[in-house]
Amino acid sequence: MSAAARLLDGKRCLVTGGSRGLGRAIALAFARHGARVAFTYATDDADAAEATRQLAAAGAAPLVFKGSVADAAHVKDTLAALHRAWGGLDVLVNNAGITQVLPISLLEEEDWDLVMDVNVKGAYLMSRAALRHMIREKRGVILNIGNFASERVIEAPVHYAASKSALRGLTEALAREVGRHGVRVNLLGPGLLEEGMAQGLPQHRQDEYVAHTGLGRLGRVDEIAELAVFLCSDEAAFMSAAKLVADGGL
């Protein structure tokens, strides 16, 4: 890739949930665009090792942190380590998220709490920690990874849809609060992706989604990752409190 195309050259970027799927694709795209990359992951050491290998092959030397984004101590330690290593953070991507395909009749309180903790509380904790540096520096970007479920629901588990709608509200409110400090906050809402939520759905549910899209297919993680690069780059310097949905034309 030419230097002119390196939209994140030298930027210090943290991607939560970066060991696989869309998170890994975003981390790799950031590395190809010249960023310094760190990622967090929750449990799967093998996935994290493969992501690290791929990032190294792309020329990056990633910093890797294991733990839950809903754990305030882990979040604090992660940001402190990044500040020691890099002196700060330019871009935070709140990608970590989970879902469970459960009807409300089978949805237990602990299921609700788990999804809300990771998908909403995790974004809040990470954003709060990152903003302490970004506000001092009068610059920074936070990108929240939402989902088409926060905009146009065909059918989605109620706790998952609620969590993504909450993330949309967090994005809008936070963008207005911190914009005066030079920090941008946006939301990227992908549709069903081949290497994402679709993998946990039965084929007939995937087929139903595809049938409702104008493009007639699932999305690819690399397509969404390039949108993340754009939103986190100076090319999108006048975008904040924005919601960019890429769902194939639902």
- Decide: 208 and 154 in contact? Cβ < 8 Å: yes
Structure-block tokens of residue 8:
């994140």
41 is an active site residue: no
Contact in structure between 233 and 227 (CB atoms under 8 Å)? no
**Containing H/E element for 130?**
helix 122-137
Which residue among 41, 124, 160, 209 is the active-site one?
A: 160
The answer to whether residues 38 and 92 touch, using CB atoms and an 8 Å cutoff, is: no
Collapsing DSSP to helix, strand or coil, 36 comes out as: strand
Q: Are 145 and 93 in contact (CB under 8 A)?
A: yes
Q: What token pair was written down for 24?
A: 């890994």
CA distance 31 to 154: 34
Provide DSSP, 148-179. Answer: GGGT--SS--HHHHHHHHHHHHHHHHHHHHHG
Catalytic positions, please?
160
